[in-house]
């Protein structure tokens, strides 16, 4: 059963009766290119969320992670995110081929602020660019190039509220459900198929490239 709501905001005018207009600093911080602080953050970020949507506007957010600096900064207006081996669903890439608009949130462990980057993406195979993304001699088959249109640091309140970096809030291994078990149940299997079990073993053995 789907929950329905009776008091729904449907216009910007209604929204601004509840939420004040943003202050000048919040507006002025938005840039159309990367500055030295944005570059510093990206070079140290081992994790980024990539938001995309298809031609119908259906959205997807995909987590991407690797060693710090895995997202390459080619210039003040261009980023390249390597596409590492995964489950081959290609949700983000398929969306970009339909709708190039993307949003990214870069995360640096221990930092209470994040970096937001919005822009237009394309799927590239330029060998000289992909070589910059090589790990252990292995090049990604594809790269996601992003032309930066907006970039700004995000307020740290959400990280502070969540206690994200507080070690005391992290669940122990005994408290966390098995990823293999969740995958089995959500896919409707009676047991984890051999090919999936092999992938879990490969990840555990750090065969990630």
Which domains are present in the chain? 28-162 (2.30.110.10), 171-204 (no CATH)
- CA 151, 114, 99 angle in degrees (round to 5)? 50
Q: For residue 83, what pLDDT band results from cuts at 50, 70 and 90?
A: very high
**Are 109 and 46 within 8 A, CB to CB?**
yes
| Beta-strand pair 101-107/114-124 | antiparallel
Nearest to 45 by CA among 27, 69, 11: 69
What's the pLDDT at 201? 62
- SS3 (DSSP) at 126: coil
Q: At 117, is the pLDDT very low, low, confident or very high (cuts 50, 70, 90)?
A: very high
Structure tokens at 142: 């594809």
Of residues 18 and 207, which shows the higher confidence score? 18
The residue-averaged pLDDT of 107-124 equals 97
Angle formed at CA 186 by CA 180 and CA 189, multiple of 5 degrees:
75
Residues 154-206 pLDDT 10s = 999 999 999 999 999 999 988 988 777 787 788 787 776 666 666 666 665 55
Judged against a pLDDT cut of 90, whether residue 33 lies above it is answered with yes
Name the region of 137 (left: φ>0; alpha: ψ -120 to 50; beta: rest). left
Residue 184's pLDDT is 77
Q: How far is 56 from 160, CA to CA, in rounded Å? A: 35
> Can you name the residues that pair with 160 across neighbouring β-strands?
none
Residue with the bigger pLDDT between 21 and 87: it is: 21
């Amino acid at each position: 059963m789907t929950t329905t709501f009776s008091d729904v905001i449907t216009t910007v005018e209604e929204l601004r009766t509840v939420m004040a207009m943003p202050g000048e600093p919040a507006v002025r911080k938005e840039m159309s290119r990367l500055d030295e602080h944005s570059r510093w953050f990206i070079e140290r970020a081992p994790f980024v969320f990539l938001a995309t949507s298809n031609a119908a506007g259906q959205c997807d957010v995909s987590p991407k992670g690797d060693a710090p600096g895995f997202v390459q900064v080619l210039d003040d207006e261009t980023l390249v995110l390597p596409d590492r081996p995964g489950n081959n669903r290609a949700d983000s890439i398929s969306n970009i081929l339909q709708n190039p608009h993307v949003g990214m949130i870069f995360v640096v462990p221990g930092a209470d602020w994040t970096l937001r980057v919005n822009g237009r993406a394309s799927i590239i195979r330029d060998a000289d660019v992909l070589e910059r993304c090589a790990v252990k001699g292995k090049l990604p088959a594809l790269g996601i190039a992003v032309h930066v249109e907006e970039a700004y640091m995000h307020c740290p309140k959400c990280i502070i509220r969540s206690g994200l970096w507080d070690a005391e809030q992290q669940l122990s291994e005994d408290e966390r459900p098995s990823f293999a078990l969740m995958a089995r149940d959500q896919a409707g299997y009676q047991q984890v198929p051999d090919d999936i079990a092999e992938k879990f073993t490969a990840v555990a053995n750090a065969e990630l490239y």
